[in-house]
Amino acid sequence: MPDPGQLKAPDLTLAGTCLAWGSRTYIMGILNLTPDSFSGDGLLETSDSIQAAVAQADAFAQAGADLLDVGGESTRPGAETVDAEQEIARVVPVVAALAERHPLPISIDTSKASVAEAALDAGAAWVNDVWALRADPQMAPLLAERQIPVILMHNRLTPNSADLAERLGGRYVGVEYDDLLGDIKSELMYSVDIALDAGIDPARIVLDPGIGFGKTVPQSLELVDRLDEIRSLGFPLVIGPSRKSFIGFTLDLPPDDRVEGTAAAVAVGIARGADIVRVHDVAPMVRVARMTDALVRRPKN
């Protein structure tokens, strides 16, 4: 398999921060502005979501986070959709407060162009689109016009394939692929083509294989182990295994007790080529990433 620094994409600068791909792993801290996050960390459950988000971002920064990811719509299995107006009301005040206070680049986790535009105007630096430009035909032109980087995530979410368990949360069952990695790569490249056709610079494209999104527990485990095949496409790679159901159902643990399972997935993911890890538990995952980097990114004689 290629080592994490072998496939060198151009460095990406976000809000004055340079992401030098291959030099180390970057940590993205998750800020969920939802009342129904699968991981139990939804900040709308607090009395003042802006204050809570700023405090959480402060803690993430102190723990060593490099990036902040703000989202206003839950993507857990069985979650209700949120309209653009409500999503904007949730995320824009927080993005504005964070941008004023923090030098850390902020990504907006949305598939709606109107939400992305409002968040970018408020200070977000890039877009994390879990539907990889396929949900809103206005997203790709917006990003191209404004020269905004984008994370394209593979996604086969279908409500009918979600199985909900009271203690462990949701997982996907009965999801079929002709060729798991081949299909994921092909579908990611379809979204890359959408981006390129719209005029998005390939140097501003980052891929996310969508661990747990429309994938069964065995498929998610296999995907983590074979991430190097996604990295071989030549784009920087984000992974988001944090507290996911594939960990919970493997270890029989609820979302708030999955830090060790997340650490294992993060370590293997980095070894297989991940450039950014998107996590809830920033402090321990910073340590995991630094140790894994010392093992797999060390100078080779």
- Residue 244 a catalytic site member: yes
Among residues 24, 76, 215, 278, the one annotated as catalytic is: 278
From 214, 151, 239, select the one nearest 188 (Cα to Cα): 151
**C-alpha span between 158 and 15 (Å, rounded):** 35
Amino acid identity, residue 220? S
Active site (annotated) includes residue 278:
yes
What is the spatial distance between Cα 155 and Cα 58, in angstroms, rounded to a whole number? 31
Which backbone phi and psi does 138 adopt, to 5 degrees?
A: -85, -10
DSSP strand pairing (17-19 vs 106-109)? unpaired
- Catalytically annotated residue among 243, 244, 258, 272: 244
Q: What is the dihedral of CA 137, 224, 57, 66, to 10 degrees?
A: -90
Cα angle 88, 85, 238; round to 5: 45
What are the catalytic residues? 244, 278
